[in-house]
Chains A and B, each alone.
Chain A
C-alpha cells in the first residue's frame, strides 16, 4: 500500500517537474505541436520519452528504497536494529509489586554476527532485570518471570509495562517495539519492523545482481546459467519449428482444398482454444517429463496458431492477383510458389510472433511442473529454498529473453516482408 502511494506521488511529481522543465526549453513548431485538437487525436499522442525514462528509474528507486539497497542514499525506514529497553511491574503471590528493566538487542541476521549476551545488573527486589536477543522482523517471547523470585508461584503476574497497566491479550507500544501479553501472561516483544521489505520477500537490486553474477559463474543445480536458459530456448525453437513445418502446409491445404478444410476444421477449431498449459498433465502421462514431452507440448502450442495463420494467409489473397497470374500463363504450381506463398508470408509472420510468445510462456510453465534444467525449473527450485533473489533474477531473464525474441521476430519481419501493411 505504501509502495503504491509512493508510486503515485512520484508519477504526479514527475509529471509536473517535466512540465515545468520543458516549459523553459524552446518548443519546436513541428506539425503535431501546432495541432489545437490533440485530445482524442491518437496520431498526436506520442510517448513522452522523459516519462519512460523516469518510469524505469522510479521502479528501481522504489525497489531500492524499500529494500534498504546500498545503491541509493534515501530509504524508507528500515527495521529497528540496536538495543531497546522497557520496564515492567510485577506483582507476586503476596501482593507486593516491584519494577525491573528488560534490555533487548535486536540484530540483523543478514549483516552481522549474533551479538554477545549483555551483562546486566540483576537489580533489587523480587523482580530482576532481564536481557534477550531478537532477530529483525521476528518477535520474541520474553519470560521475565523466569529469573524473578517467586516467578513460578501461582499468584505472580506482570501487571504493567513502562508504568502502563497491561492485561492478557492486550498490547502496549514502547519505543521501537510493540509488546503484547499472551493469554498466559507472558510478554511477546515485536521490535519495530519499519517499511522495508524483508529480503525473503524482496531482496535488494544488488543482491539480485550478485546472485546473477554468482549463478552465471557457478551455475545452479548441475547446470550453468547459459545451459538453463539455452535449454529453454532450444525447446522453444524445436517445438516452434516442428509446429511450423506441420502447421504451415496444413494451413495451405486447408486454404486450398475443401476436403482438407472440412476434415481439419473441427479439429483445429476445437484445439485452438485449449490452452497449451491444460495439456501438460496429459503430455506428462503419455510422454513423461523428459525432452520428448516438452517438445510435443510446444509443438501442439504452435501447431494450431501456425495452421490458422497459414490458412488466413491463403484466404487473404486478392483474387485479382490469382486471376492475373493465370492470365499471364502461370501453372498451378507456379501460382502456389510465386503468388500464394509470398502473399501469405505477412500472416505467417504474425502467427510466428504470437506462436513464439505462447511457446516461451508454455516452456517456462512446463519446466515449473517438472524438469531437470531450464529457466522455469531454476526459479521453481529456487522458490522452494526461499532464494527470492534467484527467483527474481530468473523472472527478469525470462522477460528479457521473451522481449528479445519478439524484437528479433519484428526485425526479421521488416526485412523479409517489407510490403506488409502497404
Chain B
C-alpha cells in the first residue's frame, strides 16, 4: 500500500519529578499519496511531537508509522523536513544548501547544478545560486529551505511551522507557493501551523488536535486548497464556507485554550 499510515501512536515520557506526561494518545491516521494535511491545535497538544515521530527523530512508546510498507525507525531521505527557521547551513551558499541532499546521494556535480537551477526557478529564486544564505530575507530563506527539501525528491514533506516567522504579506505569498509546489510535485505534505487561516487555506484535510493527552479532536475535509491552486488566495477567502469553517475552528481552539488556562488557575 502506497502512502503514510500512522497506527495507534502513543507517546509518554517520564519527568524528573516522578510524574509522566502523555504527549500523544492513540493517534491513528492514514494519508494517501499526494494529500496535503494541516495540523492545528493549542500549544502543548503534541503537534511537533507527532511530526518528529513521523520524521523518525522520536520513537513512539506505542504504535508505529508505516511509509510505503516500511516501518519508520529513524530519520531518512524519503521524509523531507522544512523547519521554521535557522535550519539552513550559513557556511554554504544557496547552491550548496539546495544541493545538499543530492550530494549525500552521490549525484554528479553537473546533475546537482542542473537540479539546483531548476528548483530555484520553481521557488522564484533564479540566479541566486551564489548568494550567501545570511544575505537573504526570511522569506527567501524559506524558499531555499523548500528547494533544499524538494531537491532530495522525498515521498513525504513534513513542515514544522515553516511560515511562522514571516511577516503577513510574505506569508501569504509563501502559502501560494506551498500550494503550487504541492500541485506541481504531487508530494504528500503534512504541515503544522499555529494559524487557523493558514490551516484552512492549505489543508485538503485539517486535523485539530486536543491537548492532555494529545489526540485527534476533529477532522475536516476542505475544498480550499484545491481552489487555491488556480485562484488567488484572497479570492479563496471569499469563497462559500471559508469564513464559517475558520470561525468554527477558531472557537474550538479558543475553548481548548480557555480550558488549559482554567486548569492552570486551579493548580
Contacts and interface: CB of A to CB of B under 8 A. Distances in A.
Interface string A123-163: 00000000000000000000000000000000000000000
Interface stretch (A207-215, A282-290, A323-331, A395-403): A323-331
B197 to A, nearest CB: 24
B86 A321 contact: yes
Interface string B141-176: 000000011001010001000000000000000000
B91 A343 contact: yes
Interface in A317-355: 318, 320-321, 323-331, 334, 338-339, 342-343, 345
A339 B89 CA distance: 7
Interface string B61-88: 0000000000000111101110111111
Contact of B89 (A321, A327, A331): A321
B90 interface: yes
Interface string A288-332: 000000000000000000000000000000101101111111110
A326 B87 CA distance: 12
Contacts of B15: none
A321 B133 CA distance: 14
Contact of A323 (B57, B91, B100, B152): B57
Interface residues of A, number: 22
A417 B91 CA distance: 7
Chain B CB within 10 Å, residue with most, of A328, A329, A338, A343: A328
B152 A328 contact: yes
Contacts of B74: 326
B101 interface: yes
Given A342-B91, A343-B91, A419-B132, A327 B79 contact: yes
B128 interface: no
A96 B148 CA distance: 114
B220 interface: no
B105 interface: yes
Contact of B87 (A321, A330, A331, A345): A321
A331 B154 CA distance: 17
Contacts of A183: none
A342 B154 CA distance: 26
A345 B86 contact: no
A417 B87 CA distance: 17
Contacts of A320: 83-87
A368 to B, nearest CB: 42
A95 interface: no
A79 B96 CA distance: 73
A326 B75 contact: yes
Given A325-B100, A329-B76, A345-B91, A318 B57 contact: no
A326 B57 CA distance: 9
B264 interface: no
Chain B CB within 10 Å, residue with most, of A318, A327, A417: A327
A422 interface: yes
B134 interface: yes
B134 A328 contact: no
A327 to B, nearest CB: 4
A418 B132 CA distance: 9
Contacts of A318: 86-87
Contacts of A330: 100, 104
B55 interface: yes
Chain B CB within 10 Å, residue with most, of A326, A342, A417, A418: A326
A345 B92 CA distance: 13
Given A419-B132, A419-B134, A334 B83 contact: no
B106 to A, nearest CB: 10
A385 to B, nearest CB: 54
Nearest to A341: B91
Contact of B55 (A323, A329, A419): A323
Nearest to B133: A419
A320 B160 CA distance: 10
Nearest to A416: B91
B91 A419 contact: yes
Contacts of A331: 104
B86 A334 contact: no
A330 B148 CA distance: 13
Contacts of B80: 327-328
Given A324-B81, A422-B134, A334 B91 contact: no
A331 B104 CA distance: 8
A321 B83 CA distance: 9
Contacts of A422: 90, 134
Contacts of B105: 329
B75 A327 contact: yes
20 contacts: A320-B87, A321-B87, A323-B83, A323-B87, A324-B83, A324-B88, A327-B75, A327-B81, A327-B154, A327-B158, A328-B80, A328-B104, A328-B152, A329-B101, A330-B100, A342-B89, A342-B91, A343-B89, A417-B91, A418-B132
Given A321-B88, A328-B148, 10 more contacts: A321-B87, A327-B56, A327-B154, A328-B149, A328-B152, A329-B76, A329-B104, A342-B91, A419-B134, A422-B134
10 closest A-B pairs by CB: A329-B77, A419-B90, A326-B75, A422-B134, A320-B87, A342-B91, A328-B101, A320-B83, A329-B104, A324-B87
